Structure 1
Amino acid sequence: MADSDPDTRPNVLLVLTDQERYDLSAPDGPPAETEAIDRLSSEGLRFERAFTPISICSSARASLLTGQFPHGHGMLNNCHEDDAIRPNLPADIPTFSELLDANGYDCTYTGKWHVGRDQTPETFGFSYLGGSDVHHDDIDDAFREYRRERGTPVGEVDLEEELYTGEDPRDGSEGTFVAATTPVDVEETRAWFLAERTIEALESHADGDGDPGPFFHRADFYGPHHPYVVPEPYASMYDPDEVELPDSYAETFDGKPQVHENYLHYRGVAGFDRELWAEAIAKYWGFVTLIDDQLGRVLEALDEYGLADGTVVVHASDHGDFAGGHRQFNKGPLMYDDTYRIPLQIRWPGEIDPGSVRAAPVLLHDLAPTFLELAGVSVPGAFDARSLVPLLENGGTVPDDVWPDSVFAQYHGDEFGLYSQRMVRTDRYKYVYNGPDVDELYELEADPAELQNLIDHPDYADVRASMRERLVEWMDRTDDPNRGWVPDALDLEETSAD
């Protein structure tokens, strides 16, 4: 466009949460209050089948930046751990944010980063506005200074109703911190602080204090990742006595990979009973509602500053959380929907029919080319993702033979070491390749809780073969380094099964 022509490209606000389950904002999900997310769904579009390419923070966030599966960008596990396979993203991998920055977008960022031990959002085209924590990034002291000024320094308050993993759930000297009630005011939570910083960024954009072009702002909340530490009224908003545990709590581990049962002990929750899980889940729901209320404040700011009509708003999460599903805590080498299915809502005024729902399977890192197409920027060939724009415009009428009917994901292990997994999922079936153990096959329509592994059931031999064929084709198409030997292993298994 000529220099004198106005830039009519939309602004973009991406709100990414950390470890938020899909079902909490689904119409038929648990009774957690998600008024702001529901507003995005009613004013925009909700994806029923959105998934993360990998259920671990650094890897998923690197995929979101690069539009690549983890085996493409190489960040296979968390960058802050001592055993990180790749602590930083290679400089030669293109990212959507650098391309937006180079093409006239004013890119700003608040909150969690966790994509590079020695890198920050500013490495990738963003102006970082603060809000990190010590554990994951420690690239900003603004929140800690804010709390000192308010007289409630971080780490110097007496928590209540503390819950830990291990033999004694009330003993903080061992185990992992799961949940608690904090006596601080809502205005002293990191969630409130990050919303406030985001609102300040929106005000600056509205006032024209930044670059003259459109803006892209990314707000990354620390939560509802454990520990589920929330203040009142959220701490007691949900009564544990009224919490219904997920159907998958009936897990017996019969016919499952051994690591599934081992993980109860590894994560320290083998002794958790229904009462303890209900207590933890109630706090998790409270954390979700706390963050949702902060999202509501951000949406109100968009209205107040006159930015709503010109801004595409996206809400998603890097991955889910077991929160008692399959009796598990956190995440790990278990490729259930609890941690792989994610919320995804998009509001685009004037382009998306309000209240739309899409059943097409999509991936978190499909957002990378989506942002570039919204900005009119060419998508790099290195991206291994599809723009969602065709699903957003014109009622999302994309022919079935154009949009794939399956998604793929992977896992490479975390603190306990490498554990190779690959997954292919359609609307009806899920197949999981487990390098070290028995594979998994679930019929999702009949068994949505994924309790019965059908991998050796003779009636599902054709399904097993078809899903394995899909997986091998995807490995070839994406240059998965395991494609050199996994297809042969699967062929051998099929031969032995026959």
Structure 2
Amino acid sequence: MMLRTAPMIFLLALVACGAEQRQPSVLLISIDMLRADHLSCYGYERNTTPTIDGLAAEGVRFARHISSAPWTLPAHAAMFSSLPDSVHGCVDGTDNALPDGIVTLAERFQTAGYGTGGFFAGPYLHPAFGLGQGFDEYRFCVPDLAASMDGQSVGEWAGDPAAHRRSHHGVTNPGVVDAASAWLQEHGQEPFFLFVHLWDAHFDFVPPKPFDARFGDPDYEGFVDGREFFFDQRINRTMAEKDLHQLVALYDGEIMWCDAHVKRLLELLDDLELADDTIVAVTSDHGTEFFDHGGKGHRRTLYGEAIEIPLVIRAPGQLPAGVVVDDLSRMVDLGPTLMELSGLPPSNRFVGISLAPLATGEGSAPRAALSELLADQNRMRSVISGSGKLVWNEVSGDVVWFDLDRDPEERNPQRDLSQGLGPELLRALQAEIRTIQLVSEQHQYPHQPIVLPPALDQAIRASGYGGGEK
């Protein structure tokens, strides 16, 4: 196990002297489409995330955290279920919702007596996909639509094409954090599990002032304004370097804008005197590509820019401060980690493991990290183990591997599976597939059809998400 610790050592022995402590609460923040390599605490040259950097200094940063999928819906389903995509089955956005038989992270906290709240702005977090299971309140927070929501069901207002369009092109962070803050002020005096999904880092990239000009060229006069990233054909692999630089600068501005809203939530915990009793985790669902391998967006490949995501956890009195874990960690490990830190019993239905022992230098890392892309006629799987990565495209039959120590950007695929890391990676893939088969046979979760409100289905397709990006 590889662990790096800041000079000041956290004294775990000082956890609970004297008065009985309340059960710890949990604040889980998911920042959509956040590449790990665009956070300053992960080595990025721009100071995009001062708040998250501070959180990492007070807690643990997982340097090799891997998502289960390169897009929003299956990644959050894995986050909530601690199961691989092939097991939870919520993988395409057009066929199956998360089965009722899967007990989600929110349901486990709810059963333990926690108040549970979830607040989001992205359409693929809609309860029609089964992700609202276990939340006392689960709200789609599209700004400036409060009046039109009055008297309507969630399905009606969340499926409104105008609401969807605003959530994609508009500024949504303030509405999400306002709603989450109000809920926290009402429910924060008892143990809570609060999920907050920040959507604005997802394209389009139109950060509010002053974040729009924080990283770009002040003299830029080109066509890139951050809008229509997916649909504007001028945004392509041959675009001028100055235009690409401006595009990435706007993305980084959105990241800093999200970081400012993480700060709002942390300051509220301080104001309510809840910070010492609250576990805070900041992560993402997936990354995105800016022509790193010739394309843009995500939901297309399993390269690192699409599946390498951040994970930072602060757990006062339980985890040491300023630690960096260089070992592998996975999306499916987050739920078991938060449960152990909260004192909830482990589940034998999870594929994920708790990372808490790893963070304190007492545990072992997962053997391998599996990612899957099972949408839009794709059937791709990747496995990372040690310093190697293997990618298997079931449709084309292509299998390649990379030595990430020598080729961290995955530029030189190797096809001879008998050489180098090939045999080891094949064994790792076979082991992950056996795990999927075993868990599926043991629990036999019945996959449930998604019943989307017609307007939501129309809105998703109109925005290019039906068989496209998300």
TM-score bracket for this pair, using the shorter chain length: 0.7 to 0.9
Aligned equivalents of 2:219, 2:320: Cα separation in 1: 36
Q: What's the CA shift for 1:116?
A: 5.5
What SS is found at the alignment partner of 1:326? coil
| 8 A Cα contact 2:385 2:428, kept in partner | no
Question: 1:293 aligns to what?
Answer: 260
Question: 2:371 aligns to what?
Answer: 409
Structure 2, unmatched stretches of 5+, are 1-18, 151-159, 221-229, 442-470
| 8 A Cα contact 1:7 1:214, kept in partner | no
| 8 A Cα contact 1:107 1:125, kept in partner | yes
CA-to-aligned-CA distance 1:446-470 (integer Å, 9 cap, x gap):
111111112238xx71421221111
CA-to-aligned-CA distance 1:208-265 (integer Å, 9 cap, x gap):
4xxxx4111111111311111212111111125899xxxxxxxxxxxxxxxxxxx999
Moved more, 224-233 or 264-273: 264-273
Question: 2:270 aligns to what?
Answer: 303
- TM-score of the two chains, using structure 2 as the length reference: 0.77
Pair 1:38-2:38 in alignment: no
Aligned equivalents of 1:323, 1:419: Cα separation in 2: 21
Aligned equivalents of 2:333, 2:256: Cα separation in 1: 26
Q: Residues 59-208 of structure 1 correspond to what in structure 2 (within 5 A)?
A: 59-77=74-92, 79=93, 84-86=94-96, 88-112=97-121, 114-115=124-125, 118=128, 122-132=132-142, 141-142=145-146, 189-206=171-188, 208=189
| 8 A Cα contact 2:318 2:341, kept in partner | no
Question: 1:221 aligns to what?
Answer: 198
Question: 1:151 aligns to what?
Answer: none
What SS is found at the alignment partner of 2:116? strand
Q: What's the CA shift for 1:325?
A: 2.2
Question: 2:445 aligns to what?
Answer: none
Q: What's the CA shift for 1:436?
A: 2.7
| 8 A Cα contact 1:100 1:375, kept in partner | no
What SS is found at the alignment partner of 1:223? coil
Question: 1:16 aligns to what?
Answer: 30
What SS is found at the alignment partner of 1:453? coil
Pair 1:455-2:415 in alignment: yes
Q: Which amino acid aligns with 1:10?
A: P
Number of residue equivalences: 399
Question: 1:418 aligns to what?
Answer: 377
Which of 47, 69, 83 is equivalent to 1:54?
69
Q: Which has the higher contact order (CA 8 A, sep 6+)?
A: 2
| 8 A Cα contact 1:284 1:323, kept in partner | no
Which of 410, 423, 427 is equivalent to 1:469?
427
Distance change in 2, residues 1:354/1:7 (3 Å): closer
CA-to-aligned-CA distance 1:365-400 (integer Å, 9 cap, x gap):
2112223223333333221111122123xx2332xx
| 8 A Cα contact 1:62 1:115, kept in partner | no
Pair 1:445-2:449 in alignment: no
Q: What's the CA shift for 1:130?
A: 4.5
Aligned equivalents of 1:112, 1:374: Cα separation in 2: 28
Runs of 4 or more above 4 Å deviation: 119-122, 143-146, 240-243, 263-268, 480-483
Identity %: 24
Aligned equivalents of 1:443, 1:24: Cα separation in 2: 22
Distance change in 2, residues 1:10/1:327 (3 Å): same
What SS is found at the alignment partner of 1:408? strand
Question: 1:397 aligns to what?
Answer: 362
Pair 1:233-2:210 in alignment: yes
Which of 294, 311, 314 is equivalent to 2:281?
314
Aligned equivalents of 1:132, 1:120: Cα separation in 2: 19
Distance change in 2, residues 1:190/1:104 (3 Å): same
Aligned equivalents of 1:268, 1:480: Cα separation in 2: 44
CA-to-aligned-CA distance 1:86-143 (integer Å, 9 cap, x gap):
1x2211111111121111101111113624662566542331255148xxxxxx9439
What SS is found at the alignment partner of 2:183? helix
Aligned equivalents of 2:438, 2:24: Cα separation in 1: 35
Question: 2:456 aligns to what?
Answer: none
CA-to-aligned-CA distance 1:261-309 (integer Å, 9 cap, x gap):
xx99999734433233212111100000001011111111111110110
- Larger Cα-atom Rg: 1
CA-to-aligned-CA distance 1:158-178 (integer Å, 9 cap, x gap):
xxxxxxxxxxxxxxxxxx99x
